[in-house]
Chains A and B, each alone.
Chain A
Amino acid sequence: METEMVHPLAKYLREAMMPHIWCSGCGNGIILNCFVQAVDELQMDLNKLVVVSGIGCIGRAAGYVNTNSFHTTHGRPIAFATGVKLANPELEVVIISGDGDLFAIGGNHFIHAARRNIGIKVICANNFNYGMTGGQQGPTTPIEALTTTTPYGNIEHPFNLVHLAAASGATYVARWTTLHVRRLTQSIKKLLQKEGFGFIEVVSPCPEIFGRYNKMRTGLEMMEWFRKASMVENFSDPAKAEITPERIVVGEFVDIGKVSYEKLLYEKIAEINEKKMRW
């Protein structure tokens, strides 16, 4: 008897939302796949999982995951997620969003969430440009890269995201590329089990837009760049991990223990009420 072939991770995706909007060669599908793989391996309770995205190509990820999901305004997923996590700390709140959303328009929310050490987990797809709007320069666009708004080459310094996250106080910081599928999946599993604010940057190919302007017209060519340039160096100095055409340092940069904001807050509330009871 023939049985219908079902992808083992199909239950984690909303069939009604398919087909997805992502171009061929885009890395977003790989990131989503690694995420649901991690959720599956951890046997997470989907009722307690909330996936939040901002605006941009990867912003559609929240809607594709068959769980509680919310697609915010541009740049605001972290601020929204802060409200969710504080209102119900039992929920596992994960943000999957892009470099422009999280570090340009949403940059302030990122550094303050990391500083507070609120227990939300951020996975950033870094594709070096604003893909959804047709490929403009963004906060991670490399120097001299061509985009539709840097037609003569980019003269702005890009953020080194792992350095920014580490300096802002994140308890877990890692960077991978979409080539590092197994390592990324294991890293997401670790992220999901950390207390406090955690961050993973995933360097991701955008051949249709960024690659087209920068002599890497296919996903394969972009992956070839990642393969040649990336080197795994766990717990190296994030300050020295700038991404250059020659060198993409990947690995874990930070993995520390620090009490989360929500734990401190709820302990404080309990303490206040105990004291009041004694009065």
Chain B
Amino acid sequence: MGPAVRAAAIGLVGTAMVLVLRRNTAELALLLVMAVCVVIIWQVSDALLTIIDYVSVLSSLSSLSEDVLMPVFRSVGIGLTARIAGDVCRDAGESGVASFIDFAGCVCCLYVTLPLVKKTVDMVQELI
């Protein structure tokens, strides 16, 4: 519960500060938004690490190979990064750049999960 409360508090305080800064120096307000995002994610990084470790343990219990699980982790990471960057750009009024970041994230996710798709297709071919 601690990290969630801390993240909420940091978000609220940060938003108040951004509102103060936005009136006179909009550029610095955008940078402050980025800082708030970084600090909030840092607060929950320990919990995220624990969750990922446990998912790895679960996958080893179910005898899933690393090749199957890695694309999932990687696409979550790409999605997280692209979403944060896109939302910051959208906040700054640059929805065009945000769309391109989203597109790049989609392309990278597809690229990362391509081995998984290939494996599935091979399996289907073997079945046929």
- B partners with A: no
Show the binding face of B for A, using Cβ within 8 Å: none
